[in-house]
Amino acid sequence: MRGVAATVTATLTGEWCWIGEGDGEIAPDRACSLLGGEWPGVVYDARAGFDPDAFGAVAGTIRAGGLLLLLTPPLDEWPDYPDPQRERIAVYPYSAEQVSSRYLHRLVRVLQESEGCQIIEQGHPLPPLPDIFPGALSPERGECATADQRAAVDALCRVARGHRNRPLVLISDRGRGKSAALGLAAARLLKDGLSRIIITAPRRSAVDQVFLHAIRQLPGAELHFEPPDRLVHENIHCDMLLVDEAAALPISLLEPLLRKYSRIAFATTVHGYEGSGRGFELRFRKILDEVTPGWRRLRMSEPVRWAEGDPLERLVFRALILDAEPVADETLNHISTTAYRIETIDRDRLADDEALLSQIFALLVLAHYRTSPMDLLNLLDGPNIEITLLKHDKMVVGCAMVAREGGIETELAGQIAAGERRLRGNLMPQSLLNHEALLGAAELQAARVMRIVIHPALQGQGLGRQLITALVERAEKGGVDYFGASFGAEPQLLDFWQRVGCFPIRAGLKREASSGAHAVMVMRPLSRAGDELFTQARRRFTRQLPVLLTEPLSQLESELVVRLLLSCDIPVPDDESWQDASAFANTHRDYGNCLLGVSEVVLFALSRGEMGMTKLQHSMLVSKVLQRRPWHELASLLSLAGRREAMGLLRGLVGDICYFYELRQSAGQNYEHEV
């Protein structure tokens, strides 16, 4: 048996991993850097705060025969203990003392009910403990420790040596030797003559074990790490690309990696602490089928470091709800769309209803690649959070987490606008204050959708729109001034939010490191004051977007640029601009001398979306005219022969735009824009 969980107050010594805030201890917020490592024992001092992400990360690093010791206040007092982690979710205007303790009440119950947990209480006799081997080390093995691992290494090598565009998806739970398999395969391939293997992951420390196993097998092995966003946006050559912890990366990074590298393997944990393998499979399977229909899936299930059915693994899974599964697809077949009901739930009831909590968390994991155990704490105790469900009988088929924000005092608002203060939470009002200088956003009340998900088997039936409608009605009745969301920009997401009346008011100027995407904020006004703020924000966004596209957003995907422009009321170009654009298209007038007119005409045409252009045509107009990319870059991007061909295509497109609107005008149709 690998270990049990216990509460102790004694001081321990030895080569153990200590999580806490004392000297020589690893702070909880650094615990995830230990993923992939191994320890004979772990001491987690929860008196310094219980971080679900940290607990989940270190629990999987314990070697066979080791022990996890959880130091806590007396269990009956723990929920009322001033846990420092409450500060993380105590958003303005709430204090840590106002944060509830539903999460800790549930955790205490789980510990008390767990068969693999022995509780040691101060002043009580010491119960018998299992044998502990504090010096336990993973034995030196041959190249592979299990048949599963051997099969994984062989499959990885076939990706490098076999037909191109046949990627491997390697899936396992923690402790099954996934990282070792990547390292062993890399060493074997390097030994056999591959010159450059690159590994990528959400962060460099996540692949330490891959490098360790590669070097053990092949001292001096040159295995390279590159961040995923750099691999997507730069021309980096490799003979094979290994993507570890793939579930912790967004599809917006995974898909371009799949399309760009013909020899690639993805590895991820099923029930992970940095993303769900199941959610990853559901989100990524369609893309794999479309782009590389010859892809292969391999599941590693045999434990390497401990025995099957390990009690600590079972305890961690239950405590963090890592193995929760949503309602099975087949259960939802043939359900009428009128058979659903929407309800906002009481979270006290939720904390005591394990089946309901598991269904909700399973859906949230499916919905977002970065859902983590910490989200469970926020789900139960976040002071400004409301949970609304879409249900059929007792089955949860949709869920939304909504945060109430705003009501910021005038003095604080000025400090935020000046960049002198930053409050916890309050994403939308603070962004409007600090980035857009819209001081009116401070005092207004906002409702921000943090997460929304519809069961994959029921998507495409308008249920997401029904759920948003219910959320908006509830917000209006609650005195909310505006409703919105912030998310990594994807075309389908932008389409969804605009269909429910939420339009872009801000685009992030830098790609987020976690998602590789630019964040977009959308808003829908719900009151007269909210409408005034919305009008200001939309006017500012529409004026700024064309300028932003020339530099900070010069690499924003053309499809996203078009989606953003479709929501903008771009003014009709004047006669001089139409004349310049027509002259560029139909004479030998130099592009530089017509740039202003061509830009205004293209902006206007793209904002109308009336001409049915192809993605290639959009890319040409956005990349060259709006983002000002050099001719050689444009030719490379569109696979053209060079500047001459690119110039010819651009003249033709601008000519088509001028002709289209000339015909409309001659037919008596005006240019008024409707969003």
The b-or-e profile of 341-380 (16+ CB within 10 A means b, else e) is ebeebebeebbeeeebbbbbbbbbbbbbbbbbbbbbbbbb
Radius of gyration of the chain (CA): 28
Give mean pLDDT, residues 184-213: 91
Domains of the chain as residue ranges with CATH: 5-113 (3.40.50.11040), 147-300 (3.40.50.300), 337-549 (3.40.630.30), 569-666 (1.20.120.890)
- Asked if 153 contacts 181 with a C-beta cutoff of 8 angstroms, the reply is yes
CA 251/CA 439 separation, integer angstroms: 35
- Asked if 208 contacts 219 with a C-beta cutoff of 8 angstroms, the reply is no
What are the pLDDT digits (tens) for 598-616?
Answer: 999 999 999 999 999 999 9
Residue 322 pLDDT level (bands cut at 50, 70, 90): confident
Residue 64 predicted with pLDDT over 90:
no
Pick the closest to residue 27 from 85, 103, 107 (CA basis).
85
Q: Residue 305 gets which letter from DSSP?
A: S
What are the pLDDT digits (tens) for 245-257?
Answer: 888 888 888 999 9
Residues whose CB falls within 8 Å of the CB of residue 196, separated by 6 or more in sequence, listed in order: 222, 224, 237, 238, 239
> Which of the residue ranges 283-287, 428-432, 456-460 has the most confident prediction, judged by mean pLDDT?
428-432
3-state secondary structure of 603: helix
Give mean pLDDT, residues 269-278: 55
- Return phi, psi of residue 98, to 5°: -90, -5
In this prediction, residue 671 carries a pLDDT of: 59
Tokens representing 436 are 């857009």
In this prediction, residue 35 carries a pLDDT of: 67
Pick the closest to residue 451 from 330, 515, 370 (CA basis).
370
Tokens representing 221 are 């092995």
Pick the closest to residue 184 from 213, 208, 141 (CA basis).
213
Residue 648 pLDDT level (bands cut at 50, 70, 90): very high
Residue 339 predicted with pLDDT over 70:
yes
Mean pLDDT of the chain: 88
What are the pLDDT digits (tens) for 443-484?
Answer: 999 999 999 999 988 988 999 999 999 999 999 999 999 999
Residue 138 pLDDT level (bands cut at 50, 70, 90): very low
Residue 328 predicted with pLDDT over 50:
yes
The total number of residues shown for the chain amounts to 675
Residues whose CB falls within 8 Å of the CB of residue 271, separated by 6 or more in sequence, listed in order: 173, 174, 277, 317, 322, 323
Residue 9 predicted with pLDDT over 60:
no
Percent of the chain predicted with pLDDT > 90: 65
In this prediction, residue 137 carries a pLDDT of: 42
In this prediction, residue 313 carries a pLDDT of: 83
| CA 169 vs CA 173, 207, 261, 267: distances in Å | 14, 17, 14, 6
∠ Cα 525 530 533 (to 5°): 105
Residue 277 predicted with pLDDT over 70:
no
CA 675/CA 670 separation, integer angstroms: 15
Residue 674 pLDDT level (bands cut at 50, 70, 90): very low
Percent of the chain predicted with pLDDT > 70: 91
Residue 670 pLDDT level (bands cut at 50, 70, 90): low
Residue 5 predicted with pLDDT over 60:
no
Residue 400 predicted with pLDDT over 80:
yes
Residue type, 278: R
What are the pLDDT digits (tens) for 87-115?
Answer: 999 999 999 999 999 999 999 999 999 88
What are the pLDDT digits (tens) for 548-587?
Answer: 999 999 999 999 999 999 999 999 999 999 999 999 999 9
- Asked if 5 contacts 68 with a C-beta cutoff of 8 angstroms, the reply is yes
First-to-last C-alpha distance (Å) of the chain: 63
Residue 487 predicted with pLDDT over 80:
yes
Give mean pLDDT, residues 156-173: 94
Least confident of 89-98, 129-138, 208-217, 328-337: 129-138
In this prediction, residue 61 carries a pLDDT of: 82
In this prediction, residue 12 carries a pLDDT of: 42
